[in-house]
Chain A
Amino acid sequence: MNVEQVLFWCAVGLYGVSASAYVFGFIAENEKLLLGGLAAAALGFAAHLVSIGARWAASTTNPFISISESLALGTFMSMAIFLLVQATSRKVRPLGVFVLPVVFILLGWAGTLRVASDSQLAPALQSPWLWVHIVGASIGFSAVLIAAGLGLMFLLKDGRSGRIYDRLPSTTDLDRLGYRFVAGGFLMYGLMIVSGALWADQAKGSYWNWDPVEVWSLVSWLIYGIYLHLRITMGWRGRRLAWYALVAVFVMIVTYWGIPFSAETFHKGFRVEHEWQPPVDGIR
C-alpha cells in the first residue's frame, strides 16, 4: 500500500469513528462526544485532502474521473462545506449525525471500487468544461446533503426539548437554512447539467441525447425544482419539506453514482462500429 492508499483508508476510518461519536453523542446527549466527532471529522478531512493531493501528484491526469474518484471528490466537498458550516456556527454541531454516516459509507464504498488512475485522460474529457462540470456536481451534491442533514435536525428538534435540542437553532432557522442549501445545490446542479450539455455538444455535436446519465440527472434536478415550488409556490414549510429533503438526497445518491456508472458511459477510446457496412467500390 502506498501513502495515498494508507491516507485514504485513514480518512475512511476516522470518518467512521466520527460518525459513531456523533450518533452516540446525540443519543446520549453528550456534548463531549459530539466534540470528539468533530475532531475526528477534521482529522479525517485532513487525511482525505492529502490522499487526494498525493493521488493527483502521482498521476499524469486528474484524479476525478472514475466512480471511486468521483465519490471521493463528492464526499470531500461535502466535508469541506460541513466543516465550514461548523466553523461559522456552533449551534449546528449535531449536523454530523447525518452527514458523517453518509460520508463514511460513501467513501468506504469508493474504497471497494478503487482502480489505478488512467495514464491518459480520455480525449472527450480533455476540455475545460470538465472542471465546471465536476465542481458543479460535487458542490451541488454537498449542498443538498447538508440540506438533508438540516432536515433531520429539524425533525429531531421539532416538538422536543432537552440539552441538545435546546442548543440547536430554532426550527424556523433550520427550515430557512435548509432551503438556502437546496436553492444553492439546485443552482450548482444546474451548472453541472448546462456545462455537460455544452461539453457534449462540443464533443459529440449534440447537447442532449436522453441517455441514462442525462435523464437521471434531469430527474434529480427536477426533484429539487419541485422542492422549490412546494416551498415558494405552495407555501410548504417545516416537517414535510424536511422529509422531502431527506428522501430526495437518497434519490440523488442513487441517480448520481448508483445508476449512471452501471450504464454504458460516454464514448471511450477507439470506438466500435456495429452496423453493416456494404463494401465501397473502387480504389483507383
Chain B
Amino acid sequence: MTPLAAPTSPSPPGRTPRGPWRRTFSVISSPRLAIALLVAVLACSVAGVTVFRGERAWVVIFSTLWFNGLLVLLALSSGLTFLVRVWGRKLTLAWVGMVVFHVSFLGLLGGVVYNSFFSFKAVLRLTEGETLPNGDPASYDTIEAGRFFDFKRLRGETTLVRMHRNYKVEGQDKRSAYEIAVGEGAARTVSTIYVTQNLDLDGVRYLVSKEGYSVGIILRDRWGKELYAAMVPLQSLPEGAGNLLYTSGSIHGPSSFPFPPPPAPADLLLQVTYVPDQGKDRAGKVELATWPVSALEGSPAAVQAADPHGGAASPPPAHTGTVPVGGTFEAGNRRLEVSEVRYWVGIAVRHDPGLTLILTSLWAGLAGMAMTFAGRIWQDTKRGKRGSSGREPDAPAPREIT
C-alpha cells in the first residue's frame, strides 16, 4: 500500500491561484506590479518633459496606445491591490476616504479610456459670413476622433456671423469673441462664445481657439470683368519683438499660392500680405505680388521661393504693389481688387462623453483625500489623548528608523 502523500500546507482560502482568472487576478493585484507600473508612468512623464518635449512628447509618448495602456493597467492594478489589502478593515473615516480616493482613481482612468474611444476633437475654420456643414470631415482643419465616434452626432451646420475684438463682458476684456449660429434649418442657436464661455449643444461643445485675417481678393480681366473672387485666410507669423506678419504662406514662412486655387485652373501666383491700420479695425494696406503660373513649372519649390521676403533664391515677382483695403492693383493684363478684410476663426469643436465621469472622479478623489486627512488627524488626536505609541492603527508595523 502506498502511503498517502502528506498534504502540502494549506493556503488561506481565496488566496490560491486556482484558474487562469484567479492567476490573472493575483498578478494584477500584486503590489509589485502596481509599484512597477507607477514608476514606469512617472519615468515616462519625466521623459516626456525632458528628453522629448512639446509636440514630440505627445507623439512619442502621451498619445500612444502603449502609454495609455500603461495608465489603464496602473488604474486596474492599483485599485485592486488597494482593495485586496484594505478590504475588511475597521470602518473609519480615513478608511472610507482611502477607498473613495482609489476608486475615484479607477473612475478617472475609466472615464479617460471611455472618452478616448468616443470623443471628437477638431478645428472648424470659418471666415466671417461663411457656413460649413458640421457632419462633413472636410469642414475641419484638423480632426482627432475616437475609434467609435459617429459623425452622425455632428448635425446641422455652423456659421460664423462675426468675430468681435476686445469684447467686453461686465467690464472685463475677453479679447476675442465669436458670434456663431449652429443648428439645422431654421432651428439655429445663435451664441457669442469667448474664452471662458463656450456653447454646448447636444453634448457637442464649441470653443474659441484661434483667429486671423482673411483678405477678399477679386480677380478681374483688363476690362474689369470679374473672373474669380475669394477670401484668402492669412497666416500670423511671429516676426520677433512681439510683431506678427500677416501673410499667405505656411508654418515655414510666407509664400505665394495659385490663384484661383485648385480645383479651378490657376491664372497667376499670388502673395498677399496685410498690414493692419493701427487705429481702425479691418482697414490698412495690402501688399500684393504676382508671378506667372509658369514660375511653378521650374521646380516644386518655386512657389515657396516666390516670396518677396524669401531672400536671394526667390525669382523676382512680375508685379508688386501696395494698395489700401478697397483699392485695385494692376498686374499686367489682370486687375486685383482688395475688396475687404474679415476675420477668420478656428473654432474648437469637441465631444467628450467621458467628461462627466472624469470630472466627478476628480472631485470624489479630492473628497476622499480630505476625508483621509481629517480621519488621520482625528485618530491622532484621540490617540494623543490616550497617550499611545503614535503608530497608525491600521498601518503595518513600522520598519526600523535608520
Interface residues of A (CB under 8 A from B): 120-121, 123-124, 126-127, 171-173, 175-176, 180, 183-184, 186-187, 190-191, 194, 197-198, 201-207, 210, 212, 215-216, 218-219, 222, 226, 231-240, 259, 263-264, 269-284
Contacts and interface: CB of A to CB of B under 8 A. Distances in A.
Contacts of B251: 274-276
Nearest to A172: B390
B399 A236 contact: yes
Given A124-B196, A235-B398, A271-B210, A194 B38 contact: no
Given A234-B399, A237-B401, A279-B257, A272 B390 contact: no
B363 to A, nearest CB: 7
A235 B175 contact: no
A123 B173 contact: yes
A123 B210 CA distance: 13
A176 B380 contact: yes
Given A186-B369, A205-B348, A236-B399, 6 more contacts: A123-B194, A126-B172, A216-B49, A234-B396, A279-B257, A279-B261
A219 B350 CA distance: 28
B283 interface: no
Contacts of A127: 196
B366 A190 contact: yes
B238 A272 contact: yes
Given A123-B175, A232-B392, A280 B231 contact: yes
11 contacts: A180-B380, A191-B366, A194-B365, A204-B207, A205-B205, A212-B53, A218-B45, A276-B235, A276-B250, A278-B261, A283-B129
A269 B207 contact: no
B77 interface: no
B233 A219 contact: no
A236 B195 contact: no
A175 B244 CA distance: 56
Given A183-B376, A207-B355, A283-B216, A277 B174 contact: no
Contacts of A207: 355, 358-359, 362
Interface string B47-76: 011000110011000100000000000000
Interface of B: 31, 38, 42, 45-46, 48-49, 53-54, 57-58, 62, 85, 121, 125, 127, 129-130, 141-142, 172-176, 194-196, 198, 205, 207, 209-212, 214, 216, 229-238, 244, 248-251, 257, 259-261, 264, 339, 344, 346, 348, 350, 352, 355, 358-359, 362-363, 365-366, 369-370, 372-373, 376-377, 380, 390, 392, 395-399, 401-402
B110 to A, nearest CB: 15
Contacts of A240: 401-402
Contact of B141 (A235, A259, A275): A275
A227 B278 CA distance: 56
Given A207-B359, A235-B397, A176 B57 contact: no
A156 to B, nearest CB: 15
B390 A176 contact: yes
A205 B359 CA distance: 13
A121 to B, nearest CB: 7
A207 to B, nearest CB: 6
A206 B261 contact: no
Nearest to A204: B207
A201 B233 contact: no
